[in-house]
Amino acid sequence: MVVKRNTWQREAVRSALGTQMGFVSAQGLHAALATSGSHIGLATVYRALADLANEGEADSLQSPEGEALYRACSLAHHHHLICRSCGLTVEIEADEVEEWAHRTATQHGFSRPEHVVDVFGFCSACVPPQ
């Protein structure tokens, strides 16, 4: 993995990403930066987010519409609970998922399994009426 040099633009993107409640698109983060007076271009935001995700400083997932979304994260392997309504995201450790992934891989003759687990639902503030 090649680590990119730390520019003021990249640091601004990293900092802005850390203030977000949940996952955010590059356009959303660009708008937040612009509102705070930053003149970073949208293409620079896209590149910085992709680099941060590649280096493990940000999580990335694809929205149901196919848009890449990003969130600052811890470097340790973890999973997410994500609210479908407001985007609130909680990092969870799931030993059972790890055990299941390794057991399933072994049963099918695979080794060194890697996985990404994101659980979508509604947080307590966004539960829709039944």
Can you name the CATH fold of 8-72? Arc Repressor Mutant, subunit A (1.10.10)
Tell whether the model's pLDDT for residue 4 goes beyond 70. no
Own/partner pairs, 55-58, CB within 8 angstroms, 24+ separation: 55/1, 55/3, 55/4, 57/14, 58/17
pLDDT on residue 3: 55
CATH of domain 79-121: 3.30.1490.190
With a CB cutoff of 8 Å and minimum separation 6, the contacts of 117 are 79, 80, 94, 97
By residue count, the chain amounts to 130
* Residue appearing with tokens 């979508």: 120
**Same fold flag, 8-72 and 79-121:** no
pLDDT on residue 22: 78
**pLDDT tens-digit series, residues 15-73:** 999 898 778 999 999 999 999 999 999 999 999 999 999 888 898 888 778 889 998 88
**pLDDT tens-digit series, residues 99-130:** 888 999 999 999 988 887 888 889 999 987 77
Q: What is the mean pLDDT of residues 86-100?
A: 82
Render 90-114 in DSSP notation, one character per residue. Answer: EEE--HHHHHHHHHHHHHTT--S--
Enter the pTM of the model: 0.68
Domain boundaries, the chain: 8-72, 79-121
- Work out the number of other CB atoms within 10 angstroms of the CB of residue 102: 15
Tell whether the model's pLDDT for residue 2 goes beyond 60. no
* Residue appearing with tokens 């949208």: 42
Say how far apart CA 13 and CA 29 lie, in whole Å: 8
- Work out the number of other CB atoms within 10 angstroms of the CB of residue 128: 7
